[in-house]
A and B are shown apart, each in its own frame.
Chain A
Amino acid sequence: MSSKKWLIMFVFCILLLPVILMGINFTVDPFGVFGNLKWYSFSETLNPRVSKTEYLIENADKYDSYLVGCSSTSSYPVEDLNKYLNANFYNTISYGADMFDAEQTVKWLIDNCTVKNIVLNVYIHNGVNYNDGEDSILSMMHYKMSDRSAFDFYLKYLLADPNYALDKLEALKNDTWATQTFDVFNEETGAYDKKIRDIEHISDMESYFTQYPVFTNYPVYEEKMKNIDNCMKSVKNIVEMCENANIKLYVVCSPIYSQYIDCFSNEDLTEFYTALANTTDFWDFSYSSVSYEPRYFYDETHFRNDVGSMAIARMFNDDSVYIPDDFGRYITKDNVSSLIDDIVNRKVSFDVSDYTKEVPILLYHSITAGEPDNSGMTVSVKAFENQIRTLYENGYTAVTFNQLYDYVEKGIDLPEKPVLITFDDGYLNNYELAFPILEKYNMNATIFIIGVSVGKDTYKDTGKPMTEHFTMEQANEMLNSGLIDIQSHTYDMHQVENLDKAPVRQGVLKFDDESEADYIKFFCEDITKSIEQIENSTGNKVTVLSYPYGNHSDLSEAICNDILGIKSTVTTNQDYNTIIKGLNQSLYGLNRIYVVEDSNIIELLQSYM
């Protein structure tokens, strides 16, 4: 080949490269703009603005109401709004959205979809940034929502870095039920998919600070609200658009973490709220006692979904739900000065003990009439009675899980000195020996039964002997006393090496070589079987799972919460629990304190305080 020909070939190859690139981007379509290989939760993660628009073009008929705003908007659960407004909400949130984005979104929604309600989140940061003119393929708007030309728009995505396409192919291979970094959005609701994030155990402040060190040393820097005028102009336009289109608009100001407020000057805060009140009436949640509780926040600028639920309950006047007294007020031109006065002078009063409670949970297994063995799992009936009597005499009240739920969900206070007594496994001796003592002192307790062992005294696979377990009839009898709660310790996932058929699971944990889908199926089937067994033969609602050996994972917690409808899980981590009003996560992964034969129960409890 002559050099001249080679050069022609070179030029040809150079021109061929973009063609190949476009081919890859078109077919794999990582940003979801060409309608190929559809996977919205992936493409929304890359660019929520563009991909959600594409999603709505296709699915707008499923929705009639929309949430609009920056990422903190994600924490208003659409389910709650749907309930109160009898509507179908979609959350259009995108990272770092400002009021310009919001205005464009609302305009597009009104022009292209049926819209009954709009919830607009005006976050304090919206006064800082406005229409930064993002041009990157990761954050630009859909051409239909902006003045970008369609040609320019598609060309950008055709010529995108091929690694996005490769990433999508790889992610497709690794996609599972659990949320991963590449699919953080829930396609159906448009909100962040928090099924893994919202199950972490939240308890005392000290361990929360270890989990989220950002709250211990909050960076205070100056945030200048240069764009209040622009922001309010957009809010005004949105208000007018909604009025003209006969759409019910709810403007909300989201909760702000107290130390983030310190980044703003009093002048800016005053101007922001005055301007907003002059533009529209709004629900303010930005400043209250909630702002001072880091456990209500994921990080400095994002509040938890449970806080969103409280806010929505306040907006729709739902008395059945716990809402801090000072959380949420309706602001108009006339009363905005009181809000400004509170926020500028940091006027707030609250007492942490009003909404948190230390609850120890005791863990027993077997009670014996004779001498306890040295497994540490057995307590003699004499010692047991002694321990229960001591609790009784020292003013402890044994509470139930239902009381914990009422505390968290409805804010119904717990007794002064609560304690929760639990038994794992469901041994016959619980019925024969422990139950009469509990009756004697009128103490509540919860027994977690292993479905497959009910009424048995041998292992099912090996036939080897084991301590006898009570029957469902005996369970019923205990339940009827009103003192005992029967809950699940799995159906058959409490397996023992050498006594059960190999391979033996580590409690409910996934085998290393098991796919996530297989595991979820197995785990769900087992727990469902256990739930059905208890509910069908006793009518008692199953809401708690005790993990065998305490073994649990984020995945198991997420499955319990998201699929199985379990409200609380207990482990064997030895510690107190701090239960927090309004925060369902404080009921997950609960700690329990082992009680053994020679435990001095009062000293034991005090040692964990």
Chain B
Amino acid sequence: MSFTSLSFIIFMAVLVIVYYIIPKKLQWILLLIASCSFYIYGGGKTILYLLFVAGTTYCAGLILSKLNEDKKANIKKRKLVVLLLCLINFGLLYIVKYLSFTAEVINSIAKTSLNVPNLLMPVGISFFMFQSVGYVIDCYRGKYKAERNFAKYLLFVSFFPQIIQGPIGRFNLLAPQLLGEHKLDYDNIKYGIQLALWGYFKKLVIAERVASMVSTVYNNYYSYSGSVLAVATIGYSIQLYCDFSGGIDITRGVAQILSINMSENFKRPIFANTLTEYWRRWHITLGSWMRDYVFYPMALSSPMRKVGSFARNHFGGVMGKIFATSVVTFTIYFIIGIWHGANFRYIAYGFYNGILITSGLLLEPIFVKLREKVNIDFKGKLWRVFQVIRTCFIVFIGRYITRAPRLLAAFYMIKTTFLNFNYADIFNGTLLNLSMSFFDYMVVIIGMIIVIAVEAYQEMGGKARKALEKKPAIIQFCVLMFALITIVGLGAMGSNYVEAEFIYAQF
């Protein structure tokens, strides 16, 4: 059941009414039933994967809590449990997501013809798996006690708003809310609806409108000049952001209607000063998951410490100081790249980000010296604008890599963009032959101006929904009507409207 379908709206309406009518003690059971139905409706038998992940992590949590109680218990035993759990789960993830890719690679290198059965891809598997594995590691660290009731734990893993595309929640933050009792709270419902509408606006009105243009160009990238490729890539950047962040807004809005607050996953990445900051603002829960469960353990592990001291002794200087960190950073981006999908271009995308960020770290001392020499106000607004544009540009180039059909195609497209820009194509009508009309371009442009304006307002500390609340009723009415008509008229009911899956759903 897609968030953008009518059946989902009806499902939510019924759920909300029942949720606030039934005895509060039963609310979590209702959520569990709703979540499992939601998953079965969309994924059918693939719920077995979810049950498997939930089952194994649930058991691992219990065992670890038990071992933790026994102070004398060998730390090696606990490590073994985590290791086994990770092997089993990531092994499963590998099989459903990467096995056919591996077979292709082996086939092409060794000229064999390995055949991999086509497995049904469970919806959102990477999301609920990361969430559950995080839980196990927290148990291992003794951060909290394991949940004893499997049904309650299953709700944490399967909670329907987040199941498709995250955010990746933490047990200690999410579980108490899921299992708690919630009174009918009009504020929550209102804010939830508003947030979801904002998400629908971004997703249906902007992202889906631009999607067909992007695929038209990318499917025939060799027939277009650089300027058209650049427009398509800007379009893709818009599509990806509006689709993903819009989806997350719907998720968080829906949860808020049920009085459950989920972690933020986007913090206006378009205003990031640096690439590092960009990644702290984009898909936040994945980043923090990587930080807590990969980066720190890896950076603090004894082999890495040995590498660190080796580097300090042999390279000296800055290089020595940050070598180990750079290696870890690089690894993280590599993993994030692969996480996006089984393809060389995602690996290349990881490299692209990893190289830029580690080289930024390595070159920092040179920048410091340079900054001392040139006469620029590095705290001024202009510099900030420059930084934002620079970051957008770096991200923009990266988008070629993730969207191109093949890695080599991405290189070709980047090359064409710079060497054969041919700006005339922007004005000579070529753009109107890419399955987007002039009207569609205007909708996307105006839509993006609204999105950026609202985000700029938030970036300066404004609270959009609170501010709207203070306006006269007639204005609130007009805004709401405008939003509904826009979403329904220009989004859901658009004549070439084809219900598209969330881009991130299969990741």
Residues of A within 8 A of B (CB): 1-7, 9-10, 13-14, 16-17, 20, 161-164, 167
Contacts and interface: CB of A to CB of B under 8 A. Distances in A.
B507 to A, nearest CB: 32
Interface in B446-499: 469, 473, 476-477, 480-481, 484-485, 488-489, 493-495
Interface stretch (B38-46, B164-172, B187-195, B311-319): B187-195
A7 B495 contact: no
Given A6-B476, A161-B493, 17 more contacts: A1-B469, A1-B476, A3-B186, A3-B187, A3-B190, A4-B186, A6-B186, A7-B190, A9-B480, A10-B190, A10-B193, A13-B477, A13-B480, A16-B481, A162-B493, A163-B494, A167-B495
Contacts of A163: 493-495
A164 B495 CA distance: 8
- How many residues of B sit at the interface, in one of the four size bands? 10 to 19
A162 to B, nearest CB: 6
Contact of B186 (A7, A14, A16): A7
A9 B477 contact: yes
Nearest to B197: A10
B283 to A, nearest CB: 30
A31 to B, nearest CB: 14
Contact of A7 (B189, B469, B493): B189
Nearest to B492: A161
Nearest to A14: B484
B487 to A, nearest CB: 10
A2 to B, nearest CB: 7
A163 B495 CA distance: 6
A3 to B, nearest CB: 4
Contacts of B485: 17, 20
A1 B466 CA distance: 11
A7 B476 CA distance: 11
B181 to A, nearest CB: 20
B229 to A, nearest CB: 30
A6 B495 CA distance: 31
A6 to B, nearest CB: 5
B190 A6 contact: yes
Nearest to B489: A162
B354 to A, nearest CB: 46
Contacts of A3: 186-187, 189-190
Contacts of A167: 495
A47 to B, nearest CB: 15
Contacts of A9: 473, 476-477, 480
B473 to A, nearest CB: 5
A28 to B, nearest CB: 14
A14 B186 CA distance: 17
Contacts of A162: 489, 493
A20 B473 CA distance: 21
A3 B473 CA distance: 12
Interface of B: 186-187, 189-190, 193, 469, 473, 476-477, 480-481, 484-485, 488-489, 493-495
20 contacts: A1-B476, A3-B187, A3-B189, A3-B190, A5-B473, A6-B186, A6-B476, A7-B190, A7-B193, A9-B473, A9-B476, A10-B190, A14-B484, A16-B481, A17-B484, A17-B485, A17-B488, A163-B493, A163-B494, A167-B495
A14 B12 CA distance: 15
A161 B469 CA distance: 32
B17 to A, nearest CB: 12
Contacts of A164: 495
Contact of B473 (A1, A13, A17): A1
Nearest to A18: B488
Nearest to A5: B473
Contacts of B481: 13, 16
Nearest to A3: B186
Nearest to A2: B186
B443 to A, nearest CB: 13
Contacts of B186: 2-4, 6-7
B476 A161 contact: no
A5 B193 CA distance: 14
A21 to B, nearest CB: 8
Q: Which of A6, A10, A13, A162 has the most CB of B within 10 A?
A: A6
Contacts of B189: 3, 7
Nearest to B495: A163
A6 B469 CA distance: 9
Contact of B484 (A2, A7, A13): A13
A20 B493 CA distance: 14
B475 to A, nearest CB: 10
Contacts of A161: 493, 495
A362 to B, nearest CB: 41
A13 B481 CA distance: 6
A58 to B, nearest CB: 28
- 8 interchain residue pairs of minimum CB distance: A3-B186, A163-B495, A3-B190, A4-B186, A3-B187, A161-B493, A6-B190, A1-B473
Contacts of B489: 162
A7 B477 CA distance: 11
A14 B469 CA distance: 19
Contacts of B484: 13-14, 17
A171 to B, nearest CB: 13
A10 B480 contact: yes
A163 B490 CA distance: 9
A55 B484 CA distance: 36
A6 B189 CA distance: 10
Contacts of A1: 469, 473, 476
A315 to B, nearest CB: 42
Nearest to B470: A1
A338 B389 CA distance: 80
A14 B488 CA distance: 10
A263 to B, nearest CB: 30
A295 B187 CA distance: 70
A161 to B, nearest CB: 5
A10 B480 CA distance: 7
Contacts of B473: 1, 5, 9
Contacts of A17: 484-485, 488
A182 to B, nearest CB: 12
B10 to A, nearest CB: 12
Contacts of A20: 485
Contacts of B476: 1, 6, 9
Contacts of B480: 9-10, 13
Contacts of B190: 3, 6-7, 10
Contacts of A14: 484
A162 B485 CA distance: 11
Contacts of B469: 1, 6
B489 to A, nearest CB: 6
A13 B485 CA distance: 10
A163 B488 CA distance: 11
A162 B469 CA distance: 31
A43 to B, nearest CB: 16
Contacts of A6: 186, 190, 469, 476
Nearest to A167: B495
A162 B484 CA distance: 14
A161 B497 CA distance: 11
A163 B494 CA distance: 7
Nearest to A1: B473
Contacts of A10: 190, 193, 480
Nearest to A163: B495
B115 to A, nearest CB: 29
Nearest to A20: B485
A4 B193 CA distance: 13
A210 B488 CA distance: 44
A127 to B, nearest CB: 33
A451 to B, nearest CB: 39
A130 to B, nearest CB: 29
Contacts of B494: 163
A163 B440 CA distance: 13
A571 B193 CA distance: 66
A4 B488 CA distance: 24
